Structure 1
Amino acid sequence: MPEQQHQSILDAAIHCARECEHCGDACIGQMPECAKLCRDCAQMCWTIAAYISRDSRFIPHIVNSCLNICQACADECSKHDNEHCQKCAQACRRAASEYQKVASLAGVA
């Protein structure tokens, strides 16, 4: 899974990680569950980005975990009306959609 062939997945992972980092920071102290999920999601998306960048053979094995975390984060963030949560939810849904494509192609979905 060379990086060049999967630029959209890499872009989605990085965008999601950044939005989750921002949202998690903004939610600390006010919405602890949101902050926790955002931090978990950011960590997994950074991990996926690294695996894609180095064309790891383990990508299909970790996309489902990241997919589930992104979906949980999107569900939580979509409950909140503030802009950073809405942007985070949107980024999580986009990343989840990209991860689903990888999982489906690998037969692990």
Structure 2
Amino acid sequence: MAHQQHKTVIDAAVHCAYECEHCEDACLGNMPECARLCRDCGEICWTSAAFISRGSRFIPQIVQSCIAICEACAKECEKHNSDHCQSCAQACRRAIEEYRKVASIAGVA
């Protein structure tokens, strides 16, 4: 039932991971720091969706890591004018909002 209870955060995490994957691919070669942060952010968001879907006891720790990594990725992507970076930054910001809701429920915010 965890996947139904936390549908909005799972959806935000998957969307963020998708946008990060796209941004990473577009930034490879010309913006290496952006690409690296997008890779990290995408990986942690894919992972968080899995942990949250199955109701893992490690959700509070994962969510805290996601907030920090998504924040770093959003800040980097916001520096760039490309559409893919701006879309990625927006997806990161939305994921952060959802992760914070989960963190506050878990008592770690």
TM-score calculated relative to the size of structure 1: 0.97
Q: What does residue 77 of structure 1 align with?
A: 77
For structure 2, the 5+ residue unaligned runs are none
1:103 aligns with 2:103: yes
Kept in 1, the 8 Å contact 2:19–2:91? The answer is yes
- Name 2:88's counterpart in structure 1: 88
Partner of 1:18 in structure 2?
A: 18
Aligned mates of 2:53, 2:5 — CA distance in 1 = 11
**Which is worse superposed, 56-65 or 79-88?**
56-65
Structure 1 unmatched ranges of 5 or more: none
Shift of 1:62: 1.3
How many angstroms does 1:104 deviate by?
Answer: 1.2
Distance 1:49 1:104 in 2: 17
The question of whether the paired residues in 1 share the 8 Å contact of 2:6 and 2:53 is answered with no
The Cα shift of 1:105 comes to 1.3
Partner of 1:68: 68
* Cα offset, 1:76, TM superposition: 0.4
TM-score norm. by structure 2 comes to 0.97
Amino acid in the other structure paired with 1:64: Q
**Between the two proteins, what is the percent identity of the paired residues?**
70
Shift of 1:86: 0.3
Spell out, residue by residue over 1:51-89, the C-alpha distance to the aligned partner (whole angstroms, 9 max, x if none).
012111111121111100001100000110000000000
Moved more, 76-85 or 97-106: 97-106
Structure 1: which 4+ aligned runs deviate by more than 2 Å?
Answer: none
For 1:68, give the aligned amino acid: A
Separation of aligned partners in 1, 2:105 and 2:5: 14
How many residue pairs get aligned? The number is 109
Give SS of 2:9's match.
helix
